[in-house]
Amino acid sequence: MSRTLFKNFSLYAIGQFLTQLLSIIMLPLYLRYLNVEDYGIVASMMAAATFFNAIMQMGAGPTIMRFYYDFGDDPEGFKSFFSSVLCFNLIANIVLVAILLIFQDAFFGFILPGVNIDKYVLYVVLYSFLFAFPVLNLALFRVESKPLKFLYFNLFQFALTFLCIFYLVVLSEKGALGKIQGEFYARIPLFVIGFFLFKKYLNPKGVSLHHIKSFLKYGFPLMLQALLWWALYKMDYFLINRYLGNEGVGVFNVGFQLSYILITVGISFSLAWTPYFFSIAKKKSTAKFYGRIVPHFLVLLIVLGTCILIFVKDVLIFMDAQEYFLVLSFLPFLIVGGIFQSGYYMIQQLLLFTKKTKYVPILLGTGLVLTFISEFVGLQIAQLDGLSMAKAAGFVLIFLSTLLFGMKYYKIYFERRKVLFALLMASFNAFFIFYMDLMESGNFPPKSLLIVLNVIAIVFFGYFSKEEKKEIGYLLRNR
């Protein structure tokens, strides 16, 4: 692995984990200051906010990243392209905000029939609008290989959001409304700072209809991709709300947040890997390098997922959150789904680099339909357990279909030995966890033994080649 890639991944991982860390840090406060129904309302309203934000982003972030390399040594051309994208996004989103506020009852009343929406809608819609533009700052930091700026930007966002939510939820005791207001108020300074940072990329006279057409051709399928992922993530919330109420949404959301730790790892690595891959994709050695990175990544996720499963009950007891013990029955399925969803972020670049983005929503859409039907059936048969099992199967299907289809356009070469090792490790861990009942609280000696066995297997049972061990040693010595 390149030293630059390793360093950038570390910084991007810290920056991305700040977002997830906020949820983890605030969780004990939510459990104390929000009842289960309020937590369910927050989950449902923020799910709606994420949906509208996905539309307002319009796939602009990935589009900026991909076309940045096409302009190469033509900075003025890139300024013209960026200005065209920004201008179109700004105007289109202002129109969309107006439509959402005028027809709020139709939009929100349909998807959230059990929630009094009046006091939430304005904050949710404006939050979605404000959050659509700092994403472009993060994309620019990535393509210009400025992970420190990426980290500082996320650190500022983390601190600001934490302070706003803490003040409104804990000190002012505004409950669910305070959480949503906190998210909104934190985005205002980020929006202002983001536009200030755009100034070096702006050329208003260079706004071009041709660039806007190129942006929409590449970005529109990615917007559909974002909406489809939103559906895979969040449609469950509305489905659960209809059959199990806000309490069911609250319990499921805790499980999803735990599995999202794995997805955050995938997003973090993708932040570093995507621009790095775009820069080396045409080299002959990249296909084999790619094939080595993916199994390494999956093994890391398996170990991390194992740790979450065996220690989650101890954490819930520590936080005095016994009312969420229901999550233990379906969390293993969400962890499996999280591993493959995180893996997806490692292989989607096959279609992004080859500009086959039109196939992305087709693959995701097919997976979404099959998954949602299965989730509906699973919810009727086994409630949250059945829904979570269907979700995991859907993520596996999407990962495999995207990988196989993407390899038609960009061939990568896997080492069968590494793939087999990952499958055997996952099977062994699952057997050990359930045979030894490691999801119960306590049992720390066998839990520690399982983690040690994983490390021993990776280091001493031939998973890494001699060349890879030398590279890892070099990275650790020169970090």
- SS3 for 220-283 is HHHHHHHHHHHHHHHHHHHHHHHHHHHHHHHHHHHHHHHHHHHHHHHHHHHHHHHHHHHHHCCC
- Quote the pLDDT of residue 256: 85
Give the span between the Cα atoms of 93 and 394, in whole angstroms.
32
Do 383 and 251 touch, CB atoms closer than 8 A?
A: no
| pLDDT tens string 136-185 | 888 888 778 787 888 888 888 888 988 999 999 888 888 888 889 999 99
Burial class (CB in 10 A: 0-12, 13-18, 19+), 254: buried
- Quote the pLDDT of residue 12: 65
- Quote the pLDDT of residue 476: 46
| pLDDT tens string 329-383 | 899 999 999 999 888 888 888 888 887 878 888 888 898 889 889 999 999 998 8
Pick from 150, 145, 154, 149: nearest CA to 2: 145
Backbone angles phi, psi at 123, to 5 degrees: -70, -40
Do 307 and 451 touch, CB atoms closer than 8 A?
A: yes
Low-confidence ranges of the chain (pLDDT < 70): 1-21, 23-24, 27, 109-116, 466, 468-479
- Quote the pLDDT of residue 475: 47
Q: What is the pTM of this model?
A: 0.72
- Quote the pLDDT of residue 115: 63
